[in-house]
Amino acid sequence: MITKQTGFYEIGGGRGLQVAGARTRVIACANQKGGVGKTTTAVHLAVGLRRAGRRVRLIDLDPQRNAVLSLCEEDQDATSNGAWWVWSSCSEVELWSPAERSADLPASPDFDYVVLDCPPNLENSTQRALEASDHVLVPLQCEFLAMEGLTQILARVRATKPKGDARRTVHVLPVMLEPGSGLHQDILEDVWRHLADNICRTWIPRDPAFSEASSYGRSLFSQNIRSIGARAYAKLAREVEDGWT
């Protein structure tokens, strides 16, 4: 059950968990197509920001709990200093919209960023996450069907954005790129023509090390920090820090 009560969105029952204050940046990682690297992106962006010294909460909104499982063996003491959380939140979470946070909430003493890993659909929990976010990060696998899904998610983001509110921005992140693939190059050029202002400067290559790391319940930063995948997500974290306001 998803309800809106006294200015906040509550997913599930009970009093819920307030996830963000007025100065917290909320990033929803969303794509209704499964298997496009959405959870991998949410996990590694959250860990990358944490490694940069930021206070981060990663919230797993997917009933499959893949983000939680991907970090079940992560050395949280090494990344947290008491300020790192992975929350499986299919039950209780309060998602405040950016306008509500700015108007009604004090600066959060706890988190600089909240990263929401959305389920692979456009149903209620994803809808609420989009409404609560400052930034929507859309992982894009460079395939034709994934391009069709991109059109749908962009339309939904526009529909949830209050008129005149410029705070919610969309960032398209190309993932699973294979060097030398003509198809990937063609799709990237097409996306660039239509969404030049929204495409991330960072692109994520295909790296088998991601699957190995998740099988151990750890991020690639812990499993193989020198891998091309870890370096790419570290670059994405820097891009978020430097250019996302």
Task: For residue range 119-172, list pLDDT tens digits in order.
Answer: 988 888 888 888 888 899 999 888 777 677 788 888 888 887 766 566 678 999
Among 114, 84, 126, 94, residue whose Cα is nearest residue 16: 94
Output 108 or 132, whichever has higher pLDDT. 132
Structure tokens at 228: 């091309």
Tokens (6 digits) for 93: 């979470």
Per-residue model confidence (pLDDT) at position 44: 94
The predicted pLDDT at position 87 comes to 56
Neighbours of 100 (CB within 10 A): 18
Q: How far apart are CA 176 and CA 145, in angstroms?
A: 14
Widest CA span of the chain, in angstroms? 53
The per-residue pLDDT for 41 is: 96
Predicted TM-score (pTM) of the model is: 0.80
- The pLDDT, as a whole number, for residue 90 is 47
Distances in Å between the Cα of 47 and the Cα atoms of 41, 124, 201, 243 are 10, 26, 19, 18
More confident residue, 31 or 151: 31
Strands laid side by side in the 2-5 sheet: 2-5, 8-11, 93-95
Burial (CB < 10 A; 0-12, 13-18, 19+), residue 132, is: buried
Write the CB contacts of 114 (distance below 8 Å, at least 6 apart in sequence).
19, 20, 24, 25, 26, 27, 56, 57, 58, 59
Calculate ∠ Cα 218-206-152, nearest 5°.
95
d(CA 178, CA 227): 15
Tell me: the pLDDT tens digits for 58-85?
888 888 888 878 887 776 544 444 345 5
Distance CA 85, CA 239 (A): 22
pLDDT at residue number 227: 95
Average pLDDT of the chain is 76
Q: What is the mean pLDDT of residues 11-20?
A: 39
